[in-house]
């Protein structure tokens, strides 16, 4: 993706609205991916150890659909056309693999939304940043649920230069 940035007074690239539309469309494709993954995984995960998380994945699917609708609405608001193609969905015969795929996707999604909030604020789209913050809360809940189901620590996806 080529950014259509403009130079600021300090000669640093500045994000423009078209860039944000492109980035949000990438996020939308990732939400579609999550919807598909959660729908499929929730139905094919087998075994007593995974029954609680399978039910939770159904809830995640509905939340991801809500995120996709919010993103499509905001892309339209910015004057863009929402994408219709999801990112690829990985599958496996092993429940643990599928949960790991989901966790990796949530980690990437959280990193991207954190960056997107900053980018929205950079160009003065504060209401859009708030929508993304609300999505981010649910994505972090998904991350916690998946890490807990896998018996692993919740990954720290904060970039080193963003830590306090």
CATH number at residue 80: 1.20.1260.10
Expressed as residue numbers, the domain containing 113 is: 14-156
Task: Identify the pLDDT of residue 10.
Answer: 47
Nearest to 23 by CA among 96, 109, 94, 88: 109
Asked if residue 162 has pLDDT above 90, the reply is: no
In a domain, 88, yes or no: yes
Q: What was the pLDDT predicted at 158?
A: 83
What is the spatial distance between Cα 137 and Cα 16, in angstroms, rounded to a whole number? 26
* pTM, rounded to two decimals: 0.89
Q: Is 47 helix (H, G, I), strand (E, B) or coil?
A: coil
Question: How many domains does the chain fold into?
Answer: 1
């Amino acid at each position: 993706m080529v950014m259509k940035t403009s130079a600021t007074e300090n000669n640093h690239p500045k994000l423009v609205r078209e860039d944000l539309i492109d980035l949000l469309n990438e996020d939308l494709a990732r939400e579609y991916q999550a919807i598909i993954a959660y729908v499929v995984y929730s139905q094919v995960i087998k075994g007593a150890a995974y029954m609680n998380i399978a039910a939770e994945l159904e809830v995640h699917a509905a939340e991801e659909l809500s995120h996709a609708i919010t993103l499509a609405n905001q892309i339209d608001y910015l004057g863009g056309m929402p994408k219709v193609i999801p990112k690829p969905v990985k599958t496996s015969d092993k429940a643990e693999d599928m949960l790991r795929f989901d966790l990796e996707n949530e980690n990437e999604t959280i990193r991207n939304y954190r960056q997107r909030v900053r980018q929205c604020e950079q160009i003065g789209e504060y209401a859009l940043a708030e929508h993304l913050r609300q999505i981010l809360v649910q994505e972090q809940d998904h991350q916690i649920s998946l890490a807990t189901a896998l018996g692993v620590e919740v990954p720290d996806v904060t970039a080193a230069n963003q830590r306090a």
